Structure 1
Amino acid sequence: MPELTFYTHPMSRGRVVRWMLEELAIPYKTEIMSFGAEMKTPDYLAINPMGKVPAIKHGDTVVTEVAAICTYLADRFPDKGLAPPVDSPERGPYYRWLFFMAGPFEMATTATAYDWRIDDSNVQAVGCGRLQDVIGSLEQALSTGAHICGEQFTAADVLVSSYL
């Protein structure tokens, strides 16, 4: 198995990736990065040209962005059961909630945290919509069962639980 290196900072979204790695119970090496100059070195920019964490390098494969990393890991280690099978009806909701958390949920909560205005004048143009709609959608989905995508705990549950 190729070596897996996890690049992170303790105060980053890397906590979500670390949880995913621990759920998988696979060996990995952690590189703790400092915000600022260390993430902008040529060596790290070769891993992530954005100069941000988290990122993983698995053999020759580099993946950045929390939802992409979790999706990659779940698919790369299917025996761990953290993704519905590709031909499963749960695969659609699984993708939906992985990317809902990385997209609308994160944008809506960030907009709220920074007091960015989302109102009737711009709500149609803002991909996340209003925070109350995002929260309502998530609450409705969580009210239907033990996990976001049915009976199986998945990478989508890791993302959902990490942000709540």
Structure 2
Amino acid sequence: MTDITLHHAHQTRSMRSLWLLHELRVPFKTVVHAFGKNLRSAEYLALNPSGRVPALEIDGETLFETGAITQYLCERFPEANMGRAAGDPERASWLVWVHFAETITQHCAALTQQHVALYEDHMRSPIVMKLEAARIGKCYAALEERLQGRDYLLDSGFSATDVSCGYSVYSGQHFTKIDGYPLLEAWYQRVTARPAFQASLPPVGERLYPQDFFEIPS
């Protein structure tokens, strides 16, 4: 049996890997870390040198970066059909949308810093908040365009692309709503209704984000 341990912090990028592991239906253990300085310990930095989550331990190997983890897990467990192998007609599209997820998340991370990590109002920049929120909107528009004529991001159906981008939209909606993107809204409802997504949500009282939506100050 494969030995898998995911190092996770609630509502962060590692939620993407947690969701995927649930979709793969493989046994794994989860180590939950608080979002903060404990990720800078020497012990944890040996797993992920950037001091961030996730880190994935699997049969003596350690991986970090969600895109790499997604590719590795999909190749390791192909029977779940979450990946698209080299030579598959959808391989290129699969790679694009798996990694486009991180384009969205970098803007979410900037806004998480502004709204959550910076505790004093004078530290925050309304200009940065507005710019990053607008950039998330542009990413939503790209997803809306991709979903023309499709239920999922690939013609063949649900895959790790939907997990990767689904987490990003989950995070992004704390800062930029998906109102006005009807195809994206319908897709988001489909993917977040899945039991694997529901299983990746934080327990009550353990959220990173203290509220569902953060207004941009004027």
TM category (shorter chain) comes to 0.7 to 0.9
- Corresponding position: 1:47 with 2:47: yes
CA distance in 2, matches of 1:65, 1:18: 13
Which residue of structure 2 lines up, in the alignment, with residue 122 of structure 1? none
Which residue of structure 2 lines up, in the alignment, with residue 136 of structure 1? 141
Q: Deviation of residue 20 (structure 1)?
A: 0.4
Q: Deviation of residue 93 (structure 1)?
A: 0.4
- 1:67-146 mapped onto 2 (5 Å cutoff): 67-103=67-103, 105-110=104-109, 114=114, 115-116=127-128, 130-146=135-151
CA distance in 1, matches of 2:68, 2:47: 15
CA distance in 2, matches of 1:107, 1:37: 20
Q: Deviation of residue 34 (structure 1)?
A: 2.2
Q: Amino acid of the residue matched to residue 88 of structure 1?
A: D
- Corresponding position: 1:160 with 2:172: no
Question: Under a length normalisation based on structure 1, what TM-score does the superposition of the two structures give?
Answer: 0.82
Greater relative contact order (CA < 8 Å, ≥ 6 in sequence): 2
Q: 1:101, 1:160 within 8 Å by CA — same for their partners in 2? A: yes
Q: Deviation of residue 146 (structure 1)?
A: 1.5
Structure 1 residue runs of 5 or longer lacking an equivalent are 120-128
Which residue of structure 2 lines up, in the alignment, with residue 66 of structure 1? 66
RMSD value, Cα: 2.3
Alpha-carbon spacing, 1:143–1:32, altered in 2? closer, same or farther (3 Å): same
CA offsets 1:108-155 (integer angstroms, 9 cap, x no match): 455577542898xxxxxxxxx954443222111012312101123111
- Structure 1, 137-146 or 31-40: larger mean CA deviation: 31-40
Structure with greater proportional helix content = 2
Q: Deviation of residue 2 (structure 1)?
A: 3.2
Q: How many corresponding residue pairs? A: 154
The SS at the match of 1:116 is: helix
